[in-house]
Amino acid sequence: MTRRLIRRFTEDDGPSAERRRLRSEARSRLEALTEKEREVLIALSGGLSNTGIAEALHATEATAKTHISRILSKLSLTNRVQAAILAHHAGLVD
């Protein structure tokens, strides 16, 4: 069992290869976003509310909501959690 576990973590097709693949795919998808939308995505991924995002970006809450809606639409996502996961896969947040 130990040998299989070590092999899995050291082979090219192991978790690190999967992480690289996910990162590449996620970054490719995020190319559709504007710079401001990326900023909003990072803030959203940090757990900020619409109000928090608006404050962090010196915008109105309506503007933050608009950016979030556009992000979800451009990335074909249905909710903020999916957006945060994609940002994480892309390496935008830890």
What confidence score (pLDDT) does residue 41 get? Answer: 97
Q: How much is the pTM?
A: 0.80
Q: Are 37 and 71 in contact (CB under 8 A)?
A: yes
Determine the Cα–Cα distance for residues 87 and 40; give it in Å rounded to an integer. 11
pLDDT digits (tens, 9 = 90+) for 61-85: 999 999 999 999 999 999 999 999 9
Per DSSP, the three-state class of 87 is helix
